[in-house]
Structure 1
Amino acid sequence: MPPAPQEQSGDLATYTGYLLRRAQQAHVAAWQKYVSDEISSVQFGLLSILRRTPGHRSACSAMSSTSTDLPSPMSPLDWSGAA
């Protein structure tokens, strides 16, 4: 049973959601520094899948319905050098 509100720790590092968010922020920062500041890891993943299976463009619609950081028109991206 979770502790009563008055007994909860004020230390954010004890909350799983906070730690997950910090890890995600660290991942984005490292991705932008070492890989690309023009394409996200989610976009890269999608483009990698599409490059391996060029006939399966339906992955775009599946990913765009669940992710907010995919580009609206995918056409401006360089599909040839994605993977």
Structure 2
Amino acid sequence: MYRQMCWISKSSGDGDKILYLQTAPSQPWRPYTHFPQYSVPDYQIPGGSKGWATYQKLLKAGWTLVPSARANEFGSSVYQLTVDS
């Protein structure tokens, strides 16, 4: 099964990053919140990374972490986050 994750900035800069998931090479990268079957509630830590708890769960489940820069290679698209999650 194809299961990849990466950290992508909310904006075009190097700001806060959110966990994004991709379940098929032909699918765009989407925020972890779009996958209720995989995500878990975020830790209630002020300023904590969005998706850190989900990242830990998925890493243990065998998902592959890829560099953010690689997420955009080969025409992979990123689903643009339009609202804060």
TM tier, smaller: under 0.3
**TM-score, normalised relative to structure 1:** 0.24
**TM-score, normalised relative to structure 2:** 0.24
Structure with the larger RCO, 1 or 2 (CA within 8 Å, 6+ apart)? 2
**Structure with the bigger percentage of helix:** 1
For the pair shown, the structure with the greater C-alpha radius of gyration is 1
**Structure with the bigger percentage of strand:** 2
